[in-house]
Every structure is written in C-alpha cells, then in structure tokens.
Chains A and B, each alone.
Chain A
Amino acid sequence: MSERWSDFIQRSLMFFYLGLLILLPIVAITVASLEQGIASLWGNITTPQALYALRLTITTAIIMVVLNVVMGTLTAFVLVRYNFPGKNVMNALIDLPFAIPTVVTGIMLVILYGPNSVLGTMFSGWGIEVIFAKPGIILALLFVSYPFVVRAVQPVLQDLGPDMENAARTLGAGKLRIFFQVTLPALLPAILTGAALSFSRAMGEFGSIVVVAGNIPLKSQVAAVYIYGELESNNPQGALGLSVVLLIISFLVLLVLNFLQRRKWQV
C-alpha cells in the first residue's frame, strides 16, 4: 500500500533529522573525547580551575533548587488556592523568564545589583558581593528557572482540588498536618519534576551567568563559562572534559525526568 510507503518516508525523514542534529553531534563529541584519551580527558576535568567551576556550578545549582522548590511550590499553592488582587497578572508574568533572553536577564541583574546601583552599594556596605560572585549566580539561576517548579506543580494542584484537603480536615487534621501529610505527598512527583528541570537548566546556564558573574577562574567561573573560556582561548581539548561531564548529567536528568513522568500517573 502507498500508505506504508509514505509512512516509511516520514519515519526515515525523522530519523535523518534527529540523527543529523542530535545523535551525530553527540557521537562526534564522544569520539573526540575518546580520541583525546581517557587519561587526558580526566586530566582536563581535574585541573583546579575545572574542578572549581564544576563544584561552583553544582553548589549554586543545589542552593537555587532548594530555594526554588520552596518558593515555587508556595507560588503555585497561592496561585491555585487563594484569590488576591493582581493574581491573574502575576500568573501571566510567571513565564516571563522563559521569554526574556538570558543575556538580558544578566544585564538586568547587573543594573540592579551592580557596583553603582542602590542595591549594590547597600549590599557591599554590608560586605556582601553580589555581582561577579556566588549570590549573583544564584540570583540569575533563580530568575531563569522560577517558572519550572511553579508550572510543574500548578496543574497537579489544580487537578487535586481542595476535596482531599477538606476530607482530611473532616478527619480532624490540622493545617500543617494536612499540608505535609496530604497535599505534599500528592505534589511530590510534580515538585521533583520541577526540581529536576531547574537543576538541569542550572547546570547548563550560560548567558545570564556570563554577564552577572563574568569569567573569573577560581571565583565566579561556572562550568558552562569555563567551557566557553577554553574555546575562546582556542583550547577545545580543554573544553571537552567538562562538556562530557555536563552531557552525562543531562542524560541522567533526562532519565530521572522520564522516571518521574511515569510516577506521576500512579498518584
């Protein structure tokens, strides 16, 4: 049948497209790393600079994820369960970080917290450095990944409705107990999904951080910026190490997300 023929062509087109754009680049970077040799690759990863960048990336990512999980869940909860003036506007603007280019995000944060700004001088008066330092990175990450947790939790909370909570209330449970024993467990897969997405974004984030934190080795240089730095200084070999590490983390996060997707239906 001609239908089978056209099915076959469509499928082949898809395989070609994905093969060329996703699979082949991954194969290429893998081969390039292997050509370089495991020892040399390991050497690239374990230079003090690279290690610092990796550690900085992970610590800032974790701090951001924790804050984002709490505040994102709270935001979703408030948006779904409560009514207050400006709720609709706020709901619409939650996605703003997805729309604003990351460079612009970085610039906005520099304007706000930079050395000449009101807030910047205030913070440096207290001895806190924001720009070109960890707090700046965390702020940038919080900005770019704010929607992830909110948008993951919101629909689940909406579907959940207040029935379960009301039922728990009739059983005599207190407010906190209801939240921690009834609502939270039901939301957990969604929260974890949001957390995983945020973490993944944080591991790879470049645009906003390169503006906010700059490229200062052993101080404010995160993994993505380190890779870019190596490429800029014409040292692609040096960039391979952390690239492979980030790639592996990407795969792992995808696996976790896949697992969470399946978990979600069981709730």
Chain B
Amino acid sequence: MSIVINNLRKQFGHALVVNNVSLEIQEGELFVLLGASGSGKSTILRIIAGLLEPDSGSVTINGVDMTHVDARKRNVGMVFQNYSLFGHLTVFENVEFGLQVRKLPKAQRRNRSKELLEAVGLTGLGHRYPAQLSGGQQQRVAVARALAYNPRVLLMDEPFGALDVKIRGTLRQNLQEIQRRLNVTTILVTHDQEEAFELADRIGVIERGQLIEIGPPDVLYHHPKTEIVATFIGGGNILVGREEEGRIRLGKVFLPMPDQAPLHAQGSPVRVLFRPETVVLSREAFSNASGIYPLGQGRVLKRIFNGPVQRLVLEMEELAGVRPLKPVPRYGQPRTRIEVVETTTGLHHGARFDETLWVGVRDYHILEPSGIKFLVYTGSPERNPAAQELALHLGQLTRGAVTLFSVVSNDMEMSEVQAEMERIQNVWQERIPLLTTEVVKGERHEQVYLKTQSGIYDILVADPKFTGQHEMKPALQNLLEETLLPVLTVSQSQKGILHILICTAAGEPGKSDVQVGGRLAMRAHAKATVFSVLTSPDDQVETRRVEQHLEQARQSLTGLGIACDTRLGLGEPMAEIFNQAAKPAYDLVVLGAPLPQAPQRIHWPDVAQRITRELNKPVLLVPMMTT
C-alpha cells in the first residue's frame, strides 16, 4: 500500500472542507480524485503533500506515518495547476532544483534533467526560461521537475486545467506513458470527468469534502452506488420506480429486479439508472428473445446530430407518472422524458424528429436505496434536546442523513444557535457523514413547513412543544396535516432503538405505518412488533380482516430481514395501545394517524401525547393518506 489516508478531516473557519476521508492507494497506481471545484479535493492533495496539516486523521506513505512530517521531508513531487515554475531559473535549473537541494553534483544533475526533459519531449529547451515556453511545454517542465528527484509519490493538482482543449489529449497520453514507465504512485486531482476516465486506474469521487465512491472508471460509470456519482459521471437517465413483488414497476412497465441489486423493502422506491447509449430504438416491438427490456413507446422530441452519434430526447408514453431524477423534469412537465444516444449508421437510418418508436434498454442498474432522511426541528436555544439527540443516534444507527433545523427570531439568538449547531456538528460529523445544520430567521411554523417542502425528507423529528403551545395535540395534528410527513416526537433522551412497536389499524389504506416503521427497523437493525386492536371479537369479518392484515405486515417485515412478531389486543383501542406501549421492551412506538378525512375512530395525537408524556417513549406518528 503506497499511500494510506485515514479519517482525514480539515476545517477552514466554519467550513468543513475535508470530511472524514479514508483512502488506500496502491503502489504504481494512478488515482484520480474527481470532484467539482470547492469539493475539497485540492485540500486533500495539499494535506498529502504536507502543505497543510489536517485537523485529525493520518497520512501514511510507504508505511511511514507522514501526518506531521514537514513537506520538505516527504519526498513527494507536485505539479500545481499553474505549474509554479521558477521564472528566474532556466528549464534546466527548474528541473534540477530538487536535486540541487539534495546536494547532487552538478554533472549528475544535468544528466538527470536531460533524461527527464527527453522523457517529456522537451529535449533541447533546457536553456530557455519558462516565459519563453508555451503552456503545454511549461506543464511538461513542471512534470519533469516534480519527477527529477525520484519522489515516492507524484501529486498533480488540475495539471491540464490551464491548457487548450486541443493539446490536453496529447499531454494526457504523454503523462500516462511516463507514469507507467516510472511506475510512480500518482494522485491527480481534476474536475474533468473525461480526463478522469482516460487516465485513472481508479477514481474517487469527492463531493462536499466527502469521498462518495471509489472504483475503476468503468465500474463507476456502469454500476455506481449513489445518485451523486451516477449523475456526476456521464449522462444518464435515473427513474424512480417501486418495488412490486420482486419486480420494479415504472409506470405501466415492469422490469425484473437484477440479482445483484441491493435489497429493497417491499413497495419502497427503486432508482433505476440506464445510460443513454444502452437505450435501443426500434420501429417494431421487441421480441422476448431479443434480450432487450422494453420500456414501451416514445416520441422523439429533440434530435441533435453530432456526427458519429445523434442525441435524442424522447417522451415516454408508458412511463407517465414516473418520477425522473435525471434528466431533471421541467416544472409542470407531465410526461417522463429520457435521453438517448444513438449511433448513426447511415443517411436516413436513425430516428427522426417527432417519430414514435419502440424503446428498450439493453442494460440497467439499480442504485442503492438511500438512508432515512431525518429533518430535525431543534426549536429555540432553551429547548428540550431529547428529540435532537434521538435523531442523531438514529441517524448514526441507520446511516441516514440528518438535517438539524432551527428557527430563531433575532440575530442574537442566531449567533447563539449557530454556535450550538457548530458544536453539535463537530461532535457528530464523524458519526453521521450526512449531517447538516441550518439556522434561519423567521416565524417557526412557517419556516418548518417551508423546510419540509424544500427537500425529500422521510421523518420530521420535533420537540413535543413544537409551537410553544402547552397543548401539543393541535400542534402535532397541524404538522401531520400540513407536512404529510411522519413526525417523531420525544420527551426524554434515548440512545437508540432496539424494539419498535408498530400500532396499526386494519383496513387503513396504504399501510404506510408498517412501511415507515419497517424501514426504520430495518435500517436500525431493531426488532418489530406489529400490534392491532380488535374492538368487537364477535365480528367474524373484522377478526379475519385484522388477522389477515397482521399476517401481511409480518410477511413484508420479515421479507426485509426484520425479526418480527404480531400481537392482537382486545377492547377499547386507545387503552389497549397505551397498555401495550407501556411494556418496557418497546423503546419506540409507531402510530398510524389517519388524517381528518378518514373515518376517525381514535384521536391519535391524544394517544401520542399520553405515550410521550406518561411513558417517556418516543412516538412516530405516521400520517395515513386517504384518497
């Protein structure tokens, strides 16, 4: 292992620029750190070079811990984006600088620099000054200079960034040849995906200081794990379907779930990626034997002829209603569109504008299901921290995303809360990589509502005294109705969950209480008990219905790999639920809360309030959508 980076962290002021990055790079490997500008990739490079010290974490080069070793003793070569050639020195003197520092005799130095200049194709230019060279030549001098003293590692910070697109290609080849020949371990930082594909043995994708995914270029392109990587690298179509009985449903179209696809809960969203070039267009329907997965018919909306290929945008009839993540739909656009790249095989052969064609895919890939996204309303500075703490523990447990959200009324509060948020961020960042905090000024209710609408959150975590009113009932009811998000309320601090009680009412449409509770249990590796109450045991029909409902719930939870059992209570629902929840085994109670339109048998917020107040257990209220 040539370079090992462990849990690297670096903060500039308030900004966490490098967030818990770990990485291992093989001897002789050409590793590319790919990321947008400001993603923290250059900072990582500077930390490896020793020009910056990390706040925590370590850098090991060839087995030696270099974290606190001075840059000049690390023996690494570095090429800066603007090359940073010494303008007052000739090309020879530039290349020989590292050798001069190492006190090599003059004759040897000159031999070595001639050798390197030859390797980069600059023989005979040794006596020129950098200002007399072209950009491409300067870049090559920088490479030769960085390699002159046989560094253990070559670090390159956007080495082609300042160059003409035309000569980049040639220089890339040149660099790759030299790197292979000298077998020097290289880390190259770039924002250019094409460059990364062309050069890298492996690519690490960096986003907002986090290393999202690592892998060889072809794997990252065809089988990315995350949406970020899928969209950052190459063009693509990502559609959100649903798991349905072991298949993927996209509108009216069904696709088989691939064997290697990550585990998806029953009925959970499935993100399907297919690259534009894997789409096949045909004027006839696909036969079953073709090995092509049909997506129905589509109409060509846009055609851009590019020479060897043409790029098409198709509007898909049968995929209507499917939520596309990419291409990003325009507001109010009802039909799903997909992007297609078609190889042009001859005049009049390809798809034409406005033509309706059969569309299929040769291959598709399922992205990993995303973790649970918690939105935590943290209230005012003097709030009860229980909700926030539980959310943080759950976020860690479920490897989910946690957004801490605060609403303040004035600037003084703002700075106070910001400081608090920063403190939490520091403590928790390592445990929850997807932790973000946000403080806004304004009216609480409105801001929380706006926030829930601004992103895709799965669970809203709130203090029982959300609105500051003494009665939490109306507040909770409002939240549920307004946000349509499951709301988790907590009154006492708790470190995690081991056993979830899911109280479900048979016959409620949607079964979202079981789904949400199940998802939480699966992610948190908790046990689950599904509980339902039978009000009139004499009613045969209802009894069967409830029993069937419980069995279905058990099956779907077991299918997710959750240890699960069912209980049936008899009597008045509110009292039964309360009694069941009171059993010490349960540490979280999920309640399905029908919205007012539904036939209301129990006033759920009342139960929720009793459980939180009297039992000190967290309650997750799941709004039950009714149609």
Contacts and interface: CB of A to CB of B under 8 A. Distances in A.
- Chains A and B in contact, CB within 8 Å: yes
Interface of A: 1, 3
Contacts of A3: 70
Contacts of A1: 68, 70
B330 to A, nearest CB: 35
3 contacts: A1-B68, A1-B70, A3-B70
Nearest to A3: B70
A3 B68 CA distance: 12
B68 to A, nearest CB: 8
A3 B51 CA distance: 12
Interface residues of B, number: 2
A218 B68 CA distance: 70
Those 3 A-B pairs whose CB atoms lie nearest each other, nearest first = A1-B70, A3-B70, A1-B68
A176 B186 CA distance: 61
A145 to B, nearest CB: 36
Nearest to B69: A1
A1 B53 CA distance: 12
Nearest to B70: A1
A1 B70 CA distance: 8
A1 B68 CA distance: 9
A170 B62 CA distance: 65
Interface string B28-72: 000000000000000000000000000000000000000010100
Contacts of B70: 1, 3
Nearest to A1: B70
A3 B50 CA distance: 13
A3 B70 CA distance: 9
B54 to A, nearest CB: 14
Contacts of B68: 1
Nearest to B72: A3
A1 B71 CA distance: 11
Interface in B58-89: 68, 70
A3 to B, nearest CB: 7
A260 to B, nearest CB: 27
Nearest to B53: A1
A236 B70 CA distance: 56
A1 B72 CA distance: 12
A204 to B, nearest CB: 39
Interface string B278-320: 0000000000000000000000000000000000000000000
B46 to A, nearest CB: 15
A3 B53 CA distance: 13
Interface in B116-132: none
A1 to B, nearest CB: 6
B138 to A, nearest CB: 26
B70 to A, nearest CB: 6
B236 to A, nearest CB: 41
A1 B69 CA distance: 9
A126 B200 CA distance: 87
Nearest to A2: B70
